[in-house]
Amino acid sequence: MDTVLVTGGTGYIGSHTCVELLNNGYHVLVLDNFSNSSFEPIKRVEKITGKKVKFYEGDLRNKELLRKIFKANNINAVIHFAGLKAVGESCAKPLEYYDNNLYGSIALFEIMNEFNTKKIIFSSSATVYGNNPLPYGEEMPYGIISNPYGRTKCMIEQILGDLSKSCSSWHTIILRYFNPIGAHQSGMIGEEPQGIPNNLMPYILKVAVGDFPELKVFGDDYETPDGTCIRDYIHVVDLAKGHIIALKSLLNSNNQGKNSEGINIYNLGTGKGYSVLELIKTFEKVSKIKIKYSITQRRDGDLPICFANVSKIERELGWKAKYNIEAMCEDSWRWIKNNPRGYKNV
């Protein structure tokens, strides 16, 4: 069976993807520097699947370590999650973001070139669509991007495009995630933000377990039915399964759907949007917990509405999100109910 290197595999999306990889019979190697995670998710992934992960602690920017990993293992493909992801922090610390995300990716691609492992899936984001018309389709040009985090995603996409143009043996799939929420149905792995969460669902969860008194809803005067922003939430397990489908096509070197730069780009969303207030109401319904909130001013840079056109991945790879918004809320709730302190209470 094929061996897959998962960078950032102890993180939120990485850990869920490791479960799906192991359940599909792949050998899984994980590289993570724990800058936003710990070893505990690996233990839980192994418990859920009954299978072993080979783990390397270290930084993507450490080329000697990357060489060691590639030398010791016959790696068939890489799924590249590792990166810093907080939009606000990226505005405050742009160099850290360019160094970690951009330089880290370049180091990885160099070593992949050296060892002739040229199959990669890269975690990109809906943020690259910026101010394009809705729904966002993969053929659209980059939009106006207002922060260094989003710019690192565009730049890495472009680097991968240049690599593919330079050498036809590179096979790249870029997955643009919309808003992943939810957790594995076992309630054993989930999202564990450090400090005060930036994103909506982790904040709702903190209010649900009593860590914060209320949620601040950033603006209710948008041009949407209830005035709050609309996002395309996708269950993290659906997202993880999307990686397996993409990996299978990559390993078969199925070139269908490549753009002019020789790379495949797919949106991972549901194609449906829910407002902030709708998400709160659904969470309250499934958890039977009241989420106290107040309306505050808009957050800088927020788009009123964001949702995907998901027809390309369905047509070309046969992937479609399965879980609805209730399931996303139920599974988020189960995770936090079982682990109110995240992975820290062990």
Residue 53 is a binding residue for ligand UDP (CB under 6 A): no
Residue 274 is a binding residue for ligand UDP (CB under 6 A): no
85 or 184: CB nearest ligand NAD: 85
Choices 31-39, 165-173, 206-214, 327-335; region in contact with ligand NAD by CB under 6 A = 31-39
Choices 83-91, 276-284, 286-294, 312-320; region in contact with ligand NAD by CB under 6 A = 83-91
Q: Which residue's beta carbon is nearest to the bound ligand UDP?
A: 229
Among 90, 117, 125, 147, binds ligand NAD (CB under 6 A): 125
- The residue behind tokens 């039915």 is 225
Among 20, 33, 136, 233, binds ligand NAD (CB under 6 A): 33
Among 156, 163, 263, 276, binds ligand UDP (CB under 6 A): 276
123 or 267: CB nearest ligand NAD: 123
Integer Cα distance of 32 and 13 in angstroms: 13
Binding mask 186-205 for ligand UDP (x = CB under 6 A): ------------xxx--x--
Residue 229 is a binding residue for ligand UDP (CB under 6 A): yes
Reading the block at residue 80, the tokens are 């590249």
Binding mask 143-182 for ligand UDP (x = CB under 6 A): ------------------------------------x---
37 or 332: CB nearest ligand NAD: 37
70 or 222: CB nearest ligand UDP: 222
Subset of 102-121 contacting ligand NAD (CB under 6 A): 104
Residue of 26, 129, 149, 266 marked active site: 149
Range 128-134 contact pairs with CB under 8 angstroms and sequence separation of 24 or more: 128/153, 128/154, 128/157, 128/176, 129/176, 129/306, 130/303, 131/303, 134/305, 134/306, 134/307
Residue 217 is a binding residue for ligand UDP (CB under 6 A): yes
Among 22, 27, 30, 37, binds ligand NAD (CB under 6 A): 37
Pick one of ligand UDP, ligand NAD, none as the site partner of residue 123 (Cβ within 5 to 8 A by kind): ligand NAD
177 is catalytic: no
* Chain residues in the site for ligand NAD (CB under 6 A): 8, 10-14, 31-37, 59-61, 81-85, 100, 104, 123, 125, 177, 180
Catalytic residues: 149
* Chain residues in the site for ligand UDP (CB under 6 A): 179, 198-200, 203, 215-218, 229, 231, 276, 299, 302, 306
